[in-house]
Structures are given as C-alpha cells and as structure tokens.
A and B are shown apart, each in its own frame.
Chain A
Amino acid sequence: MKEEVIREPLWKIRLRLWMRSFKQNWELFREKKLALFGLGVIIFFAIFGALYPMYPVLMKNIFWKDQEDMFSAMKPYDPIIGYDPFIPGHPSPPSPRHPLGTDPLGRDILSQLMYSTPREFTLGITAALITVVIGTMIGASSAYFGGVVDTFFMRLADIVMLFPTLALLMVLSAFIELDLLKLALILGFISGFGSITIVLKAQALTVKVRPFIEAAKSAGGSDMYIIFKHIIPNILPLSFLYMMFGVTSAIFSEAVLSFFGLVNVRMSWGIMIHTAESQGYLGGEFIGKFWWLWLPAGASITLLCSAFYFLGRGLEEIVNPRLRKR
C-alpha cells in the first residue's frame, strides 16, 4: 500500500484531536457552577486590570478639562505618587471624582486596585508555574527512580513542609530586597519542593507500574524518554490542577507579607491594606467608618483567590474521574 494514508499534515490532526478533547472537557466543566463562577471572576479581573491605562484618561476628560496643567503636575490618578488637591481632606469617601475614594495620602483607590491587578496575576501565575514545574519533575523522577533519589526528595519535602515559610520570608526580607519577581521565585521554589512533590509522586507511582511503561522500556526507551513522554503527560492534568491552588496560595502569601510591610513592592492589594493600617485607620470604630480603605483590596484578594480555588476544584473533577458523579 503505497498510496498516501494520511492526507493532512500531522500537526493539523493533532490540533483537531486537541480541540475535540478540549470540547469534551468543556462540556464537563460547564456543569460545575462554582468553577464557572471562578472562571468568570478571573476573566473579570483580567479585563479590569487591562483597562487600567484608560482610567486616568477617562477621568481627565470628565473632571480635569480645565486644569490640564494641574493634572499633569499632581497626577491625581497615579496609584503611587498621585494627589488630588481639590479634595478638602484625605482619606475621602467615594465620590464621582474618585469612585472608590482616596487613601490617607490622597491617592485614588480605584487606580491602585486596577494597577495592582496584573501584578497579582503575574506573581501568582509565575510562582505557581515554578512550583508545578519543579514539583512535576521531582515527583516524576522520584517515583520513577525510587531509592536514594526518592528518599532525598521526600525528606526534603518533609523539611519544607514543616518549615514556617512565612517566618522564613520575613527573615529573608531583612537581607534582600523582596520585589515582586524575587518573591514569586522564592514562593515558587519553596512550595515546589514541598507537599506538591509528594502528591505528584503518588500519582506518578500509579503511572509507573502500568504496563505501557514496561512496553516503552522494552522498546528501548531511555529513562528520560519514559519520564518525559509517558509519566509526565499522565500526571500533567494533576499538576495543572495544583497550579490553580498554587496561584491562590502565592497571592495570599504576598498579601500577608505586604500587610506587614515586608515586601519591596510599591503598590499591591496587600500594600493598600498596609497603608490603611499603618496610618491607623483600621483600629476601633475607624474600621467601619473608613471602609473604602480596606474593603476593595480585601474583597479583591478574597475573590481572586477563591476564584482560582473554585476553578481548581472544578478541574479536579475532570482530571480525576473518580470524583465525577455518575
């Protein structure tokens, strides 16, 4: 049979197969209301953050038409150095000029919120990505090789899990300037060697004993070939799921550190709350009176974190057929 059997290029077929499985999984995913909500929230925040550059322009055209010089001098919608001189006292409650009010230093809360959003995403996703890449590789190789490799990484995971990460970060912040990227790297590395390796190793062990691994071995596949071609693709869905949870924990950690003022970040949701706290607006009766200082940032942290978490839980049911209700 010399005629051509496959009439299309291979990549086209693969793309179609991929699209098909995506569609099938989407059907399953659509039934999970909470996960859809999570996805919706994530998309909302993504758009919200992307719109940031337009916000000052819009405000300028509405409220600052006659004071162009003043606008460019004071930059009233800059999240870090902005100041609105036309408001009698700061912090000011929400008003048409400042939809979410201003902070004690006279900066616009909404612009702070929008400015921080893409940075939260970057931090969360970078940290989670690093975690998952490390966790997957270590999980797969300690399952596959066993022995000394396994023992070493598992004990390391025990140590990392027992270690108070937050305390470590606090100490670290005294030595190095923790900017967003460094923080993402550190968070990613620490959790990458932690519990995720144990979970992914357990999964990889179930893959390792299946005969298709032996089939690949008897065909002459090298250790690396088997790990990358057979074991990792089969634990990748679980890794992806853990990435979602990783995003949640990274954003949380950043918020906590920022709140204590330990991170060298100019603006973030955590910093917003930190500002309110350090100026004394979170104490006693003030907490209710100056709600716009902490509520937008606090709500955003909660919402985005739970959104990734819900998304993860929804994916979990797709990844793990045993959880499917049928």
Chain B
Amino acid sequence: MGNEKTILKIEGLRKLFPAERRLFRKVRKFVHAVDGVSYEIREGESLALVGESGCGKTTTGKILVGLYEPTDGTVVMDGRDVTPFLFESYGKAENYIRRVYIDKFKNGGNGNHIGNFEEYKKIFKDKFNGNEREFVKYILKDRKKEMKNLRKKVQMIFQDPYESLNPRMTIFDTISEPLNIHNIGNLKEREEMVAELLDAVGLTPPETFMFRFPHELSGGQRQRVAIARALILKPRFIVADEPTSMLDVSIRTGIMKLMLKLADEYNMSYLYITHDLAVARYMSNRIAVMYLGKIVEMGDIEEVLKNPAHPYSKALLDAVPVPDPEVKREEPNISGSVAKPINPPARCRFYDRCPYRMERCKKDPHPQLREIAPEHHVACYLFEK
C-alpha cells in the first residue's frame, strides 16, 4: 500500500456556481459547490466519495470528465497537468496557465505539487526566453487533441440507467458511440469490440442484445450497457456516480461485483460517488467524506469506518440503518439540516451543526486535513493541539 503509482492527483479543486442571475452586473452570490478539494487516486484503487445530496460529490466527478470547468485548482494525470485541457475556451485555458505557471515563474511561487512544473519552468525560460504569449501557445498547441485524449482516459457511469441511454439508439450504437466520436476502427472491428464488451459485462449472447433499444432492457441490463459504453475506450479511470442506487437489491450486487471484476481485468481506478457507506465499503479501498464542498475526513476505508474521527462522519455512520433488528443504534449526534453553501463564512463548514464546536472553530478558517493515524486524515480542530 502507498507505493502504487498515483494516476490522478487533484489539488485545491474549486467550483462556484452563480446563485443569482443578474443582467449586465457582476454576480456576487455563489454556491460553493466544491471548495478546495484535494485527493489522489492510485493505480487500480477505488476511492469512495461519500456525502449527502448537495455536498458537491457529483460536481467533483463531473469536473474530471470535462462536464464542468473548474473555477480553480489543478488536475494532474499521470504526473502531467491536464487542467488546461478541461476548459472549453482558449481564453480560460490561457488564464489558467498565466495564473498557475507564468505568475509563479515570475514571482517565484511554489508549484511542486504539479509534476511538470519544473519542466515547464525550464521551457519557459530557455526555449521562449520568457515570451508569455508564445509559451501559452506552445502548451495549448494540440489543445483539441489533448482534450479528446483526456476524454478517452476518463469516463463516467451515470446514476440513472433509464435516462443515461438515448432511447432512440440501439445498444450497438450506444456502446460504439465513443469509437465513432474518436474515429476508432472500421465497422467490423467496432462490432467485434462491442460484442466482446457485451460479453464482458454479462449480456450474453451479445448478438441478442446488440440491436435492442433501451426500453427493451431491464434496469440492471441497461446499467451493464452503460458500463460497457464507459469501458469501450479502455479508460484508465472511471467516475462512477451512484451506479447502483436506482437498482433493486437483487440486481445491485451483480452490478457491484461486475464493476470490481472489470476494474481488475482492465486495471482501472474508480472514483466511486455514493451516499451509501455500506456500498462504499464494498466497492472501495479508500474513502473521502464530503460536507458542503469540503473533504472533512479521508483515509483507508476500514480504518475510517472503524474509527470515524470527524463529528460529521460519526453522525453519518450512526445514521446508517442496520439490517439486524436486534441491533439498537445510537442516535446520530448532529443538529439542524444541510443549508446551501452560498458565500459561506470562512470558518469550519460544519460549525452550525457540530455538537463539539469550540470558540476556536468560530474564529479560525476551515481546518486543514491532517494525518491523525497512518492513512487517516481529518479536517477538524478537535485533533489539533
């Protein structure tokens, strides 16, 4: 443990959504959906992102597959900064490069968390002699291609199997769509790849499923199709957004086992987004608990579930119903309810609901994640001396 290659590293990721619509004036109210989230995912590992609805877990995932642009923060894949390729427009990508690289090159800021920071610095100094415009051009020269490449490496599985397949496309068309977009293979090769994947996700024999429409499949079968679609580009990394929460129990375990098996076969990593701690435990090695846009606790999943440290994780764990009538659970120690984080104060996000809040929590900014045990990080002042 701990020695595997890190394939994805996220540093200070932020995403603000405007909370008001104003014509011709600057928006001043923002929902801080994701607010300074950092984590890394190692090769072949699965990280569970757990939290209640509205905590920003899905937004985090959608940034990684390029469905939302990050407001701030860096995404490093295989040691290389790919953030510039997450932006739709050239201007935004340029802004990012100026902010993260050029400004720091000039003012001597630190960027060591980015694997290729020093390399870029050298290129900037030696090759372009500090010519900013040329440097930006150089990094963004294959922008479109890089964007497509990135999409190939990261794929997403969605929550609702009834809505995530186009009802007017056959299963073959749906699964082979990414091949079509990326111009991979001819028709015959595509047919073979689709058949192979249908086989792998347990829809056998493939030829009986290929030319059906989504409405001719059950929920579980549709989710298998969605998994096959995510796999066809052989991604390194999959964002799975509650892929089993809409499925029936007897179907659900089948899908979970399938995903574990495929992760092994295809050597993929998962970011497994869920609200269900039990499912998270079954699917992942590590867990990150999110509350209102911040990670409050992160670490090895068995360790965190056994010794939850953060008051919120404790409450969340206590609230999980236990399928055993003889067990009497403790009442979760938490008050109030989740509010939307619109321009939240700088203090700890959990302050309003925390049963253990102290004077310090009111004044100081949101606590940093710190290691309290090996492979166990908590963001709470209770654990700082």
A residues engaging B (CB < 8 A)?
A: 1-2, 5-6, 10, 13, 17, 210-212, 214-221, 225, 230, 233-234
Contacts and interface: CB of A to CB of B under 8 A. Distances in A.
Nearest to A231: B166
Nearest to A234: B168
Interface string B212-253: 010000000000001001000100000000000000000000
Interface in B150-197: 151-152, 154-156, 158-160, 163-170, 174, 177-178, 181-182, 187, 191-192, 195-196
A234 B164 contact: no
Nearest to A9: B187
- List the 6 closest A-B pairs by CB distance, nearest first: A220-B151, A218-B65, A211-B164, A219-B178, A5-B195, A211-B158
Given A1-B195, A211-B163, A212-B166, A218 B207 contact: no
B132 interface: no
B147 A220 contact: yes
A230 B164 CA distance: 12
Interface of B: 62, 65-67, 147-148, 151-152, 154-156, 158-160, 163-170, 174, 177-178, 181-182, 187, 191-192, 195-196, 199, 206-207, 210-211, 213, 226, 229, 233
B160 A211 contact: yes
A220 B191 contact: no
A218 B167 contact: no
A215 B170 contact: no
Nearest to A21: B213
B156 A218 contact: yes
Contacts of B187: 10
Contact of B177 (A13, A214, A216): A216
A218 B147 contact: no
Contacts of B148: 220
B137 to A, nearest CB: 23
A225 B187 CA distance: 19
Contact of B156 (A2, A5, A215, A234): A215
Contacts of B151: 218-220
Contacts of B158: 211, 214-215
B341 to A, nearest CB: 23
Given A219-B181, A220-B147, A221-B181, A234 B67 contact: no
Contacts of B168: 233-234
A221 B148 CA distance: 9
11 contacts: A1-B199, A211-B160, A211-B163, A212-B163, A212-B164, A214-B164, A215-B164, A218-B151, A219-B229, A220-B151, A220-B152
Contacts of B170: 17
A216 B181 CA distance: 9
A220 B187 CA distance: 19
A218 B158 CA distance: 11
A5 B178 contact: no
Nearest to B199: A1
B155 A5 contact: no
Given A219-B151, A230-B166, A5 B206 contact: yes
Given A17-B170, A219-B177, A214 B67 contact: yes
Given A215-B226, A234-B168, 20 more contacts: A2-B192, A5-B206, A5-B207, A5-B210, A6-B207, A212-B163, A212-B164, A214-B158, A214-B164, A215-B156, A217-B67, A218-B151, A218-B154, A219-B177, A219-B233, A220-B178, A221-B181, A233-B168, A234-B166, A234-B167
A17 B62 CA distance: 34
Nearest to A220: B151
Contacts of A5: 191-192, 195, 206-207, 210
A214 B61 CA distance: 12
A27 to B, nearest CB: 16
Given A10-B187, A219-B151, A211 B159 contact: yes
Nearest to A236: B168
A151 B213 CA distance: 36
A210 B163 contact: yes
B44 to A, nearest CB: 22
A13 B170 CA distance: 11
B66 A215 contact: no
Contacts of A217: 66-67
A37 to B, nearest CB: 29
Contacts of B182: 219-220
A215 B155 CA distance: 8
Nearest to A216: B177
Contacts of A210: 163-164
Contacts of B233: 219
B193 to A, nearest CB: 10
A255 B163 CA distance: 45
B181 A225 contact: yes
B152 to A, nearest CB: 7
A215 B206 contact: no
Contacts of A212: 163-166, 174
A217 B182 CA distance: 12
Contacts of A234: 166-168
Contacts of B191: 5-6
Contacts of B169: 233
B85 to A, nearest CB: 11
Nearest to A233: B168
A220 B230 CA distance: 12
Contacts of B196: 1
A138 to B, nearest CB: 21
A221 B179 CA distance: 11
Given A211-B159, A214-B156, A17 B211 contact: yes
Given A6-B207, A212-B164, A234-B166, A218 B67 contact: yes
Contacts of A6: 191, 207, 210
Contacts of A10: 187
A17 B210 CA distance: 12
Contacts of A233: 166, 168-169
